[in-house]
Structure 1
């Protein structure tokens, strides 16, 4: 999509901000965070840069909004795979909790593979921004889309622990170990030696890596 529904007809009155985020997200899809340029987003929507600056203080402000959108889409991908693979109700809670973590990991890597530009944007640094965390290690004051993917992971690991399937002593920091492993795998596929692996072999690698993460946490 090279334009947002044909210039000025592409947004409803009062919805210019969302149209600009949509246009900027398309730029990110094609070229990552470096491609998010406020003037180009305004051109695609069919308004002047001056009009765009009424909604975004600067280019970093627009990039921050696209980053939030990338995080939302990442969480959506994780939830979509979770819905696709949900086990039938009434089964073993421990096995259901393990399957949930596997599904979330698959949705995480799938988003990176299918939307590399938005994935990179979802984790880009914007200016001097840094994530804020509680003493317990959870997201405290994240942006609108920043926390959901992480909270899905925490909930899945908590469910494994509650079902009695966690290895003794493995719960502390488990979300960071799992997150780091899945993120590292995604980056190896995007920018590393796994980039040119054919999809069937890549799927086997992803499944094996996620299974290894799960096996390291559970009994």
Structure 2
């Protein structure tokens, strides 16, 4: 994915709150959540911290606004991957393709924008109903529900399946960002994602993928 980083625009009178959020998002992009402070965002915009405090009670409130922005950008990456999918007639293959595209959009954003990705999850997420309403997790639930409706995902395997899939791709992203895979070449990263998605798909269905399904997954992962 090409970086969907926030673009700095000049501060216009009456729009200080949004200008501070944009500047704080740029700080997060460069240095992660720990770089987001009222003072630094105010300095970047060209106002005093006192002026910034008229819009944010403190650092935590500004960070929450930046987390929301980071999650919006992560969601945009997932939607972009979904939009690039070719039409697929078979319901099960369509569901698997959507599953793979969601994983690819999620993983691509993590590697392209590590500062914003870390910020999106800084301090945890809101309760599950809010997380599931929109964003990448909501898209994942829809894809897994489609697999269940198609008959590919047996009823006994449906409970909590979205958490297993999310944990697998999120964990792979963190291994590349902060773990032993941080120096892995691009080819290895792509293969790791492809195999992770394939294993998730086979685990959901409880059987080996057909060659046709495997090819659909591969196309969706590669984009």
TM-score w.r.t. length of structure 1: 0.86
Contact 1:189 1:195 in 2 (8 A): yes
2:158 is matched with 171
2:120 is matched with 122
1:136 is matched with none
Whole-angstrom distance in 1 between the partners of 2:50 and 2:149: 54
1:36 is matched with 36
1:131 is matched with 126
Contact 2:148 2:155 in 1 (8 A): no
Contact 1:68 1:146 in 2 (8 A): no
Verify: 1:96 aligned to 2:94, yes or no.
yes
TM-score w.r.t. length of structure 2: 0.84
1:57 is matched with 57
Contact 2:81 2:105 in 1 (8 A): yes
Return closer, same or farther for 1:146/1:195 CA change in 2, 3 Å cut-off.
farther
2:22 is matched with 22
2:185 to 198, 206, 209: 198
Whole-angstrom distance in 2 between the partners of 1:131 and 1:80: 24
2:139 is matched with 152
SS in 2 for 1:64: helix
Return closer, same or farther for 1:79/1:130 CA change in 2, 3 Å cut-off.
closer
> What stretches of structure 2 of length at least 5 have no aligned partner?
208-223
Runs of 4+ off more than 6 Å? none
Deviation of 1:11 after TM superposition, in Å, equals: 2.3
Number of residue equivalences: 201
What is the root-mean-square deviation of aligned Cα atoms in Å? 2.0
> What stretches of structure 1 of length at least 5 have no aligned partner?
134-138
Structure with the larger helix share:
2
Verify: 1:210 aligned to 2:205, yes or no.
no
Whole-angstrom distance in 1 between the partners of 2:112 and 2:169: 15
